[in-house]
Structures are given as structure tokens and as C-alpha cells.
């Protein structure tokens, strides 16, 4: 009996010693990352996440960069050291020079996204990217623009109906989100969400999965270490798991239907998924995507093409309402291009020739990029300057830090100034490693042209039809860690633009 007690005691002491080493001794005293400046850990359990989620800190990434420089060490869950960077040498290595030396961290969103293009790695990613490129040609995207306009026109009618009922103060974000969801459903896989006009089970499930909360973020991070956490029967897990089940069921039914149409030669749609399936039919067996890989692209289109455009449009309206003179200049350009708002139906080329609109869009993406951080883990040891970055280090490229760096953008870095994009003396210094709303290189967003065209059409039709103002004294916080969404609902005072 005493031998058993001794063995148990040794085991317990060993476990305690191992945990102490992993969460305290190694992160503080041994890791090569200890030489990199950064804030001290606040907790052996949650590291520095309390600072990142502190509602009193407006943009925690920026605050760390200002204090510690462009390579900052911080601590994640279980006190594991990680990096936040805006160092352009490292950014270039990660995004352009050695892309596949850096992998995406395992996240529980794979439960509903699957290993589609965003979460695939190495040769698998190369295969999917090569196969999907033809679906995002100029020809295909320009044919989607009428769909953007048609759905956006439903949004215009909805706003006008509210105004006819005496409403002038309207919270627009939920309606813009439904607009972009309806659009990506149609152009992505010819699915009628109709969420602007009616409830939809798949739309509701998807909203649950992509709407971030601080608790959801913590559970997601913990589930990377302890997958069983998602099985604990609490309300947030029940909602997550039920939503995953709905998404998987609907995606499987949709892909089965389209594959059956492809077998009989009846798949004639121009939506992205139909184009992919028809391309897939022509490929040699070693290059084909499996049925499951094709199914995963459904959620890829949704996640990449919905919330990012929705968030960017909400921020653009906020910035234009805050700067009415800029809003007036944009409207002048739109009125000149489209004198009759009742026949607003731009082509892809027309919407992309509007210089000031392009400046407004880019400046919005600079100040409020939908992707505030690009997360990677290096699979090889790396050396940058005097710093050794051991393999398996969690690295965050701070898009926010790059986009708001005075070294890159000058003394007016915090100003909303669309005209900066029309000044060659300023734009000549901007590269694809200093402006990263869609990432860059082999892992850059494959649908960036689609997203930009959609953003421009929705914003244009809104500004052409309405004047947007903010309630006096209204100010919105900028959250840049778990989400780029506004921290509070933006209520606009809306009035009509006369024809």
C-alpha cells in the first residue's frame, strides 16, 4: 500500500512539476522569446487576454506597439509566449517570401468551416487555390454586379418603408448584414436566404457561429487544448453545436443537389460553387477536389464574403456620417455618374472608375480593416535581427498596427482622408505589406475583387439615396482583437436625397 501511495505521490509531483515548468519556468526564464520586449503576464491562466478584452482600452494592439515597438511579446492562454508584429521584414516573410513556413493555428471553427481554402495547408492549399482561381475571373465577377444591385435595392426599399412609417433614426448594421448574407448566398452557391424579408434557419445558425463574444472567444481558445470543452452542456455550447449541425446538414444537401445536376448536365448556374463543380469535372483525378472539399467551400464563401463586407460597409457609413463634407463629395461623384437614382444599375467597370469612391473604400479598410490580425504559427525556427523565433510560436500580424503606423502613413495617420489614395506622392510608399485588408501572396483573399465590388455597390446605392448623420455626441469604440465590428450599435439619422 505504501508503495502505491509513493507512486501516486511521485506521479502527482511530476504533474505539478511539468505544469510549473510549462506555464511558468519555460515562458518566463527559458524561451528565446524572453529577450523580446512586451508586457508582463497578468495571469498564468489567461496571460494578457484581460488587457486585450479591456473595454477601457480602445485599440490594445496599437497601445502595445506604441510602448514596445514593432515586435512585441505577449502571453496567451496558459501563459504561452506569443508575438504581435508590424515589422515589415517579418510581414514579408510570412505573407510573401515563405508563406508555407507559417500555418494557421487550429481553431474550433473548423467544425463548421471544414478544411476549405482558408484552413487548408501546404500542397492541399495549393491544389484548392489553383482549382478555384478560374471561378474569380473578371468575367465571372462582373456578371455578379447586377445581383449586388438587386439585393441592395431591397435594402433601400426597406429603409424607405421605415421612413414612411415615421422612423428616421435607424440602426442599420443588422440590415446591412442581412444584405451581404443574401448576396453571398446567391453569387456563392445560388441559395436564396431572403434574410432581409423572412427568417431562415441556415442564416440564423450561421449568425450564431460568426457572432463573437468574449466568453465564446475564451471557450474557442480553450477547446484548442481541451476539445471536450465544447461537449460541456452549457447554453453557449448547445447553441454552437446545434448551429454546426444545421450548417453541415444544409451544406451537404446543397452539394448533393448540385452534384446530381452536374451528373445530368443540368448544372448551368454562374454562382461560384456551380462554376467550381463544372471546373472540377474537367480535371485529372489527382487535381480534383473531393465532394467534402467542395462542400467546405460553401462555408468558405459565407465566412469570407459576408461579415467582412457587412462590417466594412457599416464603418464606411459611420465615417461618412462623422465627416459630412466627405459624404457630400462622394455623393457629388455618384450623382454625376448616375443622375437618376431610380435607374442606378452600375456595371463592374463603371463602379471601379469612380476615384473618390475608391478612396473612401480604401480609407475605410485602412482605418477599420475587417481582418484586424493575421494569425500564424511558424513550423521552422526563424531569426529576425537579434531575435530567434523558435518553431511553433504563435505570431499575429497586426493589420491594425500596420494600417495606423505613422512611419508608413505619416502625421495624418489617424485622419479619415480618402484623398490620400488619389495622391501619387503618398501612394508610392504603400505596398502589399503595409496595406493588408485582404492579406497578400499565396494566402491572400481569393475573392478580394468580388468583395470590393460588392462593398462599392452597396455603399454607392445607400449614399446616392440617403443622407446619413450621427446623433449628437455619439461615439463608437473600436474593438480590434476579437472582431472589427463596432463595439456598439450605430444609430443613423437618415433623410432622403431628392432626385
pLDDT digits (tens, 9 = 90+) for 108-166: 555 556 667 777 888 888 888 888 888 889 999 999 999 999 999 999 999 999 999 98
The count of other CB atoms within 10 Å of the CB of residue 65 is 22
Per-residue pLDDT, 488: 61
Please tell me the distance from the alpha carbon of residue 445 to that of residue 447, in angstroms, as a whole number.
5
Please tell me the distance from the alpha carbon of residue 433 to that of residue 157, in angstroms, as a whole number.
40
Do 187 and 147 form a contact (C-beta atoms < 8 A)? yes
Kindly give the interhelix angle for 355-367 and 324-337, rounded to the nearest 10 degrees: 140
Percent of the chain with pLDDT over 70: 92
Q: What is the pLDDT of residues 392-415, one digit of tens each?
A: 999 999 999 999 999 889 899 999
Mean pLDDT of 46-57: 73
Instruction: For Cα atoms 233, 77, 386, give the angle at the middle one, nearest 5 degrees.
Output: 160
Domain ranges of the chain: 117-496
For the ranges 153-162, 325-334, 368-377, 461-470, the lowest mean pLDDT is seen at 368-377
Please tell me the distance from the alpha carbon of residue 306 to that of residue 264, in angstroms, as a whole number.
31
The kind and range of the H/E element at 83 are strand 81-85
**Closest C-alpha to 79, from 33, 45, 40, 37:** 45
Q: What is the pLDDT of residues 434-444, one digit of tens each?
A: 999 999 999 98
User: What are the residues facing 470 on neighbouring strands?
Assistant: 492
Does residue 259 carry a pLDDT above 90? no
Please tell me the distance from the alpha carbon of residue 210 to that of residue 281, in angstroms, as a whole number.
32
Please tell me the distance from the alpha carbon of residue 383 to that of residue 380, in angstroms, as a whole number.
10
What backbone phi and psi angles, to 5 degrees, belong to 432?
-80, 10
From residue 10, how far is each of 4, 7, 345 by CA, in Å? 10, 5, 75
* Residue linked to cell 503618398: 426
On average, the pLDDT of the chain sits at: 86
Binding residues: 445
Q: pTM value? A: 0.90
* Residue linked to cell 454552437: 240
Q: Residue 58 carries which DSSP code?
A: S
Binding residues for heme: 445
Per-residue pLDDT, 207: 77
Q: Residue 468 carries which DSSP code?
A: E
C-alpha 282, offset from chain centre: 32
For the ranges 27-36, 59-68, 293-302, 455-464, the lowest mean pLDDT is seen at 293-302
Please tell me the distance from the alpha carbon of residue 85 to that of residue 95, in angstroms, as a whole number.
13
Does residue 357 carry a pLDDT above 90? yes
The kind and range of the H/E element at 171 are strand 169-171
Percent helix, percent strand, percent coil in the chain, to nearest 5:
60, 10, 30
Does residue 480 carry a pLDDT above 60? no
Q: What is the pLDDT of residues 450-471, one digit of tens each?
A: 999 999 999 999 999 999 999 8
- The CATH superfamily assigned to 117-496 is Cytochrome P450 (1.10.630.10)
Please tell me the distance from the alpha carbon of residue 384 to that of residue 382, in angstroms, as a whole number.
7
First to last CA, the chain: 92
Which of residues 484 and 458 earns the better pLDDT score?
458
Please tell me the distance from the alpha carbon of residue 234 to that of residue 213, in angstroms, as a whole number.
15
Please tell me the distance from the alpha carbon of residue 152 to that of residue 89, in angstroms, as a whole number.
41
> Do strands 491-496 and 466-470 pair parallel, antiparallel, or not at all (unpaired)?
antiparallel
Please tell me the distance from the alpha carbon of residue 33 to that of residue 97, in angstroms, as a whole number.
23
**Grid cell listed for 154:** 431591397
Residue 117: CB partners within 8 Å, gap ≥ 6? Answer: 125, 128, 129, 132, 297, 300, 446
Number of helices (H), then strands (E), belonging to the chain: the values are 22, 10
Mean pLDDT of 473-479: 70
Does residue 55 carry a pLDDT above 70? no
For the ranges 63-72, 261-270, 449-458, the lowest mean pLDDT is seen at 261-270
Amino acid at each position: 500500500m505504501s508503495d502505491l501511495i509513493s507512486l501516486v505521490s511521485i506521479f502527482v509531483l511530476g504533474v505539478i512539476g511539468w505544469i510549473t515548468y510549462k506555464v511558468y519556468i519555460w515562458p518566463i526564464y527559458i524561451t528565446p522569446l524572453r529577450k523580446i520586449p512586451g508586457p508582463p503576464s497578468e495571469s498564468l491562466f489567461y496571460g494578457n487576454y484581460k488587457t486585450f478584452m479591456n473595454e477601457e482600452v480602445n485599440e490594445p494592439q496599437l497601445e502595445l506597439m506604441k510602448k514596445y515597438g514593432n515586435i512585441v511579446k505577449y502571453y496567451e492562454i496558459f501563459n504561452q509566449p506569443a508575438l504581435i508584429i508590424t515589422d515589415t521584414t517579418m510581414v514579408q516573410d510570412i505573407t510573401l517570401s515563405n508563406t508555407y513556413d507559417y500555418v494557421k493555428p487550429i481553431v474550433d471553427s473548423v467544425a463548421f468551416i471544414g478544411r476549405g481554402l482558408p484552413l487548408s495547408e501546404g500542397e492541399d492549399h495549393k491544389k484548392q487555390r489553383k482549382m478555384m482561381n478560374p471561378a474569380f475571373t473578371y468575367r465571372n465577377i462582373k456578371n455578379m454586379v447586377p445581383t449586388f444591385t438587386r439585393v441592395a435595392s431591397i435594402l433601400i426599399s426597406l429603409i424607405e418603408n421605415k421612413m414612411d412609417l415615421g422612423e428616421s433614426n435607424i440602426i442599420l448594421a443588422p440590415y446591412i448584414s442581412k444584405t451581404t448574407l443574401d448576396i453571398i448566398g446567391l453569387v456563392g452557391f445560388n441559395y436564396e436566404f431572403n434574410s432581409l424579408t423572412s427568417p431562415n434557419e441556415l442564416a440564423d445558425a450561421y449568425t450564431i457561429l460568426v457572432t463573437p463574444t468574449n466568453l465564446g472567444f475564451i471557450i474557442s481558445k480553450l477547446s484548442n487544448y481541451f476539445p471536450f470543452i465544447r461537449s460541456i452542456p452549457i447554453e453557449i455550447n448547445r447553441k454552437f453545436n446545434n448551429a454546426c449541425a444545421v450548417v453541415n446538414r444544409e451544406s451537404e444537401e446543397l452539394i448533393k443537389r448540385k452534384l446530381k445536376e452536374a451528373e445530368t448536365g443540368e448544372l448551368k448556374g454562374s454562382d461560384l460553387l456551380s462554376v467550381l463543380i463544372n471546373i472540377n469535372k474537367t480535371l485529372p483525378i489527382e487535381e480534383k477536389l473531393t465532394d467534402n472539399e467542395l462542400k467546405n467551400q460553401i462555408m468558405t464563401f459565407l465566412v469570407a464574403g459576408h461579415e467582412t463586407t457587412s462590417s466594412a460597409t457599416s464603418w464606411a457609413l459611420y465615417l461618412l456620417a462623422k465627416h459630412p463634407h466627405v459624404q457630400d463629395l462622394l455623393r457629388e461623384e455618384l450623382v454625376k455618374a448616375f443622375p437618376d437614382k431610380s435607374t442606378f444599375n452600375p456595371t463592374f467597370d463603371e463602379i471601379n472608375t469612380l476615384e473618390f469612391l475608391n478612396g473612401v473604400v480604401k480609407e475605410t479598410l485602412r482605418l477599420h480593416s475587417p481582418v484586424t490580425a493575421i494569425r500564424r504559427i511558424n513550423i521552422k525556427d526563424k531569426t529576425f535581427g537579434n531575435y530567434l523565433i523558435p518553431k511553433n510560436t504563435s505570431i499575429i500580424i497586426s493589420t491594425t498596427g500596420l494600417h495606423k503606423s505613422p512611419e508608413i502613413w505619416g502625421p495624418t495617420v489617424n485622419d479619415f482622408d480618402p484623398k490620400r489614395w488619389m495622391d501619387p506622392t503618398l501612394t508610392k510608399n504603400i505596398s502589399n505589406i503595409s496595406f493588408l485588408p485582404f492579406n497578400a501572396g499565396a494566402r491572400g483573399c481569393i475573392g478580394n475583387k468580388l468583395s470590393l465590388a460588392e462593398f462599392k455597390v452597396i455603399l454607392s446605392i445607400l449614399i446616392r439615396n440617403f443622407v446619413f448623420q450621427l446623433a449628437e455626441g455619439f461615439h463608437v469604440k473600436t474593438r480590434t482583437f476579437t472582431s472589427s465590428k463596432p463595439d456598439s450599435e450605430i444609430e443613423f439619422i437618415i433623410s432622403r436625397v431628392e432626385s
